[in-house]
Chains A and B, each alone.
Chain A
Amino acid sequence: MTEIPRSRWGFALGWIAFSALIIALLIDAQTDNPIVYVRIDLATLTLCTGVVILAAVVLIWRFKRGSEKQLQIEATRIQAQASDERRRFLRRLDHELKNPLTAIHAGLANLADSGSPETRLEALNSVKAQTVRISHLTADLRKLAQLEIGELEREPVDLNEILEEVFMVAEEDARAADRRLNLSIPKAPWPLPKINGDRDLLFLATFNLLDNAIKYTRPGDTIELRAFESGLMVTIEIADTGPGITDEDLPYVWDELYRGHTTRSVEGSGLGLTLVRAIIERHGGQTTIRSRAGQGTVVAVRVPIG
């Protein structure tokens, strides 16, 4: 549903007020001691009232038709946007499949031609790696589709536990050794409240964000995983001092298969953040990202308590 523009509401209210004023004046004129003295007979009064009512009917009809038109325009716009997104998605999917398939073609050619066992083994491993890559892509796409329709398996989830576990896994990552990782979860006056959600999905969302931070930062950078309670929500933030995201890329980072211009070389399916957003939205939460090129990035997810 689209909103009816405020100017239209104002216009309609103005008309109603004006009509009410005229009717009030006309009725006032019929009393024995009118506030505003207008000399008028009953026939004129009936005629004027009729005109005002007719005008109101015409106005309401036009108003309705106008908003329907507005709705139609909005629906067309949403449709156009959806088909735009679909085209972009197909183009990216095509691109994501093209690369591993090209590598597989090359690997198979090497397997068929080459006599040297080393080259054959290398080709074989490369073909295997590429099929694993495509498998991961299809698994992630499937998970995304499932997230849109499937039921969440909700239970009271201890976020403290999840954050500590995700942090522990990240610390075990070899790339984490030369980055400064900090975890900050409130302990006083009380720990984070429980969330009614799907534990495995919330783990995955947090893991993806921290993994991204490790992936897209450089040795020496600082990464912070922090969480706090704010009102009826819990906010989890993953902040880093990495190279940041350009203004050009920033609006698209949540899109399916989107790869930033400077990050194409980094391994990944391009669905990590899309999954995060889908998971958080299924929990009734929101995701936001702020970034400054050259300074770093902070991703925040907010999920409702309860």
Chain B
Amino acid sequence: MDTKPKILLVDDEEAIRSNLASFFGRSGFTVEIATDGQEALDKTSHFEPNLIVMDVLMPNVDGREALRQLRQSGNWTPVILLTRVGESTERAMALEEGADDYLNKPFDPHELVARIRSVLRRARPGQPPLSTASRLNSGPISLDRLARRLWLNGEELALTPKAIALLAYLMTHPDELITRERLLDAVWGWDYPAGTRAVDTRIAELRRALDDDPTDPQYIETVPGQGYRFIGTVEAAV
């Protein structure tokens, strides 16, 4: 029996498909390829991938539309979207339509494989991932991702949009060590010199608001020299 995870790779660029497919193969995955959203939907039903890696900008049915149709049909196969523009709106859309993670082009293929592995680890077969929930709870914390609002013990906290987006990303990836560079890429949409300091500033803001002691954290743990990890138990609010 083939126990290798099956990945469906969807991109309209031949050069990207062929190079990534062979990289995925060497990383221990079985790969199937689709060139646009429609083909991706067709292949999902018979290839039954464990995960779909899909570009957003494609001819005919684009990645966003394909993802919407997939979720509407009740299919919760994990999806990683490859976005071309680092726009926050595009990332917000990825959230609304139920992508499990997203990565800005251009990216390092090693990073993509690391993301695939962590999404596969998190995935609960047949169930919606945390990243599709609009409201997340962790103990006394309640986060409305779409409205970008946060409550602690029922009381709303005033936070900057960046801090809330950062918390949302951490809470949708619980127990996962996330590097500051990745947070910068995911939440800010771009990397810049000394930019990781911006991440630290927002983490400090979150900790102040949540009254989370960095030496004995309940929610956000610092992994020295590497990044941060959300250690609270996260549940999707029903």
Q: Does B197 contact A (CB under 8 A)?
A: yes
On chain B, the residues within 8 Å of A165 by CB distance are 197
A139: which of B86, B194, B201 is its contact (CB, 8 Å)?
B86
Q: Does B210 contact A (CB under 8 A)?
A: no
Q: Does A155 contact B (CB under 8 A)?
A: yes
Cβ–Cβ contact A200 & B161, under 8 A: no
A169 to B197 CA separation, bound complex (whole angstroms): 9
Known: A135-B106, A169-B197, A203-B197. A143 touches B162 (CB 8 A): no
Q: Does A142 contact B (CB under 8 A)?
A: yes
Q: Which residue of A lies closest to B184 (CB)?
A: A200
Q: Does A32 contact B (CB under 8 A)?
A: no
Number of chain B interface residues as a range: 10 to 19
A146 to B86 CA separation, bound complex (whole angstroms): 9
Cβ–Cβ contact A211 & B160, under 8 A: no
Q: Which residue of B lies closest to A134 (CB)?
A: B106
Interface size on A, residues (CB 8 A): 20
A172 to B189 CA separation, bound complex (whole angstroms): 26
A112 to B88 CA separation, bound complex (whole angstroms): 41
Q: Does B213 contact A (CB under 8 A)?
A: no
Q: Does B211 contact A (CB under 8 A)?
A: no
A166 to B192 CA separation, bound complex (whole angstroms): 13
Cβ–Cβ contact B193 & A142, under 8 A: no
On chain B, the residues within 8 Å of A199 by CB distance are 160, 198, 201
Within 8 A of A (CB), among B92-106: 106
Q: Which residue of A lies closest to B84 (CB)?
A: A142
Q: Does B190 contact A (CB under 8 A)?
A: yes
Q: Does A138 contact B (CB under 8 A)?
A: yes
Tell which of A139, A150, A200, A208 has the most Cβ of chain B within 10 Å: A200
A214 to B163 CA separation, bound complex (whole angstroms): 31
Cβ–Cβ contact B188 & A153, under 8 A: no
Question: Shortest CB–CB separation between residue A136 and chain B, in angstroms?
Answer: 8
Known: A138-B106, A139-B86, A153-B160. A204 touches B201 (CB 8 A): no
On chain B, the residues within 8 Å of A208 by CB distance are 193
Mask of B172-203 contacts with A, CB within 8 angstroms, 1/0 = 00000000000000001111111101100100
Q: Does B85 contact A (CB under 8 A)?
A: yes
Known: A142-B85, A155-B160. A169 touches B106 (CB 8 A): no
Cβ–Cβ contact A142 & B197, under 8 A: no
Q: Does A258 contact B (CB under 8 A)?
A: no
Mask of A268-290 contacts with B, CB within 8 angstroms, 1/0 = 00000000000000000000000
Q: Does A254 contact B (CB under 8 A)?
A: no
Question: Shortest CB–CB separation between residue A202 and chain B, in angstroms?
Answer: 11
Within 8 A of B (CB), among A203-252: 203-204, 207-208, 211
A204 to B196 CA separation, bound complex (whole angstroms): 11
A208 to B162 CA separation, bound complex (whole angstroms): 21
Cβ–Cβ contact B162 & A203, under 8 A: no
Q: Which residue of A lies closest to B107 (CB)?
A: A135
Q: List 7 A-B contacts (CB under 8 A).
A: A139-B192, A142-B85, A146-B86, A150-B87, A169-B194, A199-B160, A200-B188
Q: A153-B160, A169-B194, A200-B198 are in contact. List 8 more A-B contacts (CB 8 A).
A: A139-B86, A143-B192, A146-B86, A155-B160, A165-B197, A203-B197, A207-B193, A207-B194
Interface residues of A (CB under 8 A from B): 131, 135, 138-139, 142-143, 146, 150, 153, 155, 165-166, 169, 199-200, 203-204, 207-208, 211
CB-based closest 6 A-B pairs: A200-B198, A169-B194, A139-B190, A135-B106, A155-B160, A143-B190
